[in-house]
Structure 1
Amino acid sequence: MNLDAPPFQHFQNEGLDLAYFDDGNPAGEPVLLIHGFASSASVNWVYPGWLRTLADHGYRVIGIDNRGHGASAKPHDAEFYHPTAMAGDAAALLTLLGIGEAHVMGYSMGARISAFLAIEHPHRVRSLVFGGLGIGMCDGVGDWDPIADALLAPNLEVVTHERGRMFRAFADQTRSDRMALAACIATSRDLVRREDIARVAVPTLIGVGTRDDIAGDPHELADLMPNASALDIPNRDHMLAVGDRVFKKAVLDFLKAQQA
């Protein structure tokens, strides 16, 4: 399986330069992939094999580098990172590509952005996959101030907070702009209101690792939605669930069911 990143292109939205790839079968049903915090389209979707898996099953696969991440612009002002703004970037990309509606899959922060996309631009979303985020989407995912502190620390060695160390190491691994990520973490965690997610009626799959201590219960979120199901990804934590084979098979089965 070829796991090399495809060529990226760029577009402008709200004065920001944003990067994306458009790969797979150009005539296939489009799947828009929205990555998580401190990641990128390549790290979240190409290297774990999602791009090739979806492309091999005939889909047109679009991945966006969210603002502050990957090859996209990286403002250091927290006001740029509300999820409603990043959902607007995703909608603008679909418009640019002439795509009326797409299957939308987001992981962690990307799941939150996908939820805002479905709430604020419902005609653009044919189905949803939320990975790595359950009821935490509505209730919060704990205190992330130590993560911001870890991102701004002079080096990893001085970081003692366990979750802070995990995200700082990930940010260092992905060679991220840590100032941009610290700004992003301040505002990208806007909560989704329960009454809003309850109005999202498109078919939805919610997958969370059974060892994920960040996401919150996927079943509780699914129970709020009229057409959602939850998937427990066995023995996977927040970082490892994204590329899991059980998750991939469930997503492929879910997408195939939308064609029936």
Structure 2
Amino acid sequence: MSAVKTDHFVSFDGMRLAVHRVGSGRPLVLLHGLFSSAEMNWIKWGHADRLAAAGYDVIMLDFRVHGESESPDDPEKYPKNVLVRDVAALIEHLGLENYVLGGFSLGARTSLHAVGNGVLAPQRLIIGGMGVAGVADWNRRSAFFKRVIDEFDDIKPGDPAYYSKQFLKSQGVNRTAARLLLDTMTDLEKEKLANITMPTLVVCGDEDTDNGNAEELAALLPNATYVETPGAHLVSATKPEMGEAMVNWLKDTE
């Protein structure tokens, strides 16, 4: 395992966000999922090392409220689409031009918003664990996570939300801040998917329907390749096949 270097940068509104980095070569910015972190999604299971070995400077942001980034309770720190603004601030801070952008779940959703709305223009895009419903029907998905937070102490084993409750608890997420963050996210109009014209990998677990149909999402993107890997939503991110699919696709599209 290669040594991961961690630093912090100041985002557009003064928030101090953690950035983890490994490897050298072409820049690849990776964004993690909700209640997770760069460590949990990309580092722990070896995906970052695989990508670094393939010749990439792997740059992994901890979103605000996650990982080693700040997690304030102040509502003013949670304007609409704040995560897109944070990623744009990171790209500007690092002076990146020819880069790959990738994300899993919330990270994938954030990437689609950033590119679909013309905020960012990566050379290539990787979308993991995401279907159409995860971007176009966010209110439904958001309601699930709000319930996890609002009814945290009452969710018991056997409840469909129990696994998400346990994951949130294990990651030590500030629930008040997470609740504020959920309200910053909006739906992405399906028509804006047509703006995502760069080569795109849509990779999803074969049992993962948490964010809707990933193959349907790939079909709506102008230049996408769909790859299926093993596992349900959270499990798929722990499997080596996800990182291997990313490496193989990047090699094929060089």
Give your verdict on TM over 0.5. yes
Partner of 2:143: 145
Equivalent position to 1:231, from 217, 227, 238: 227
Q: Which residue is 1:213 aligned to?
A: 209
Structure 1 residues 81, 45: closer, same or farther in 2, change over 3 A?
farther
| Residues 46 and 240 in structure 2, CA contact (< 8 A), matched pair in contact too | no
Residue number in structure 1 paired with 2:242: 247
Aligned residue number for residue 7 of structure 1 = 6
Distance 1:144 1:116, change over 3 A: closer
SS at match of 1:69: coil
Gaps spanning 5+ residues in structure 2: where?
none
The one of 75, 85, 89 equivalent to 1:88 is 85
29-38 or 119-128, which deviates more: 119-128
Q: What is the Cα deviation at residue 216 of structure 1?
A: 1.1
* CA distance in 1: counterparts of 2:204 and 2:33, whole angstroms: 14
Report what 1:43 is aligned to. Answer: 40
* Aligned twin of 1:66: 63
Shift of 1:79: 7.2
Which amino acid in the other structure matches residue 92 of structure 2? T
For residue 186 of structure 1, report the CA deviation from its aligned partner.
3.0
How many Å apart are 1:256 and its aligned residue?
Answer: 1.1
1:54 CA drift (Å): 1.0
Further displaced range: 158-167 or 92-101: 158-167
Name the TM-score, length of structure 1 as normaliser: 0.87
How many residue pairs get aligned? The number is: 251
The verdict on how the C-alpha distance between 1:93 and 1:7 changes in structure 2, with shifts beyond 3 A counting, is: same
TM-score (norm 2): 0.89
Counterparts in 2 of 1:78 and 1:116: CA distance versus 1, 3 Å: farther
How many Å apart are 1:111 and its aligned residue? 0.4
- Quote the sequence identity (%): 27
Deviation at 1:144, TM superposition (A): 3.9
**Deviations along 1:64-99, whole A, 9 cap, x unmatched?**
1111211222233387164x3211211211111121
Q: Does 1:18 find its partner at 2:30?
A: no
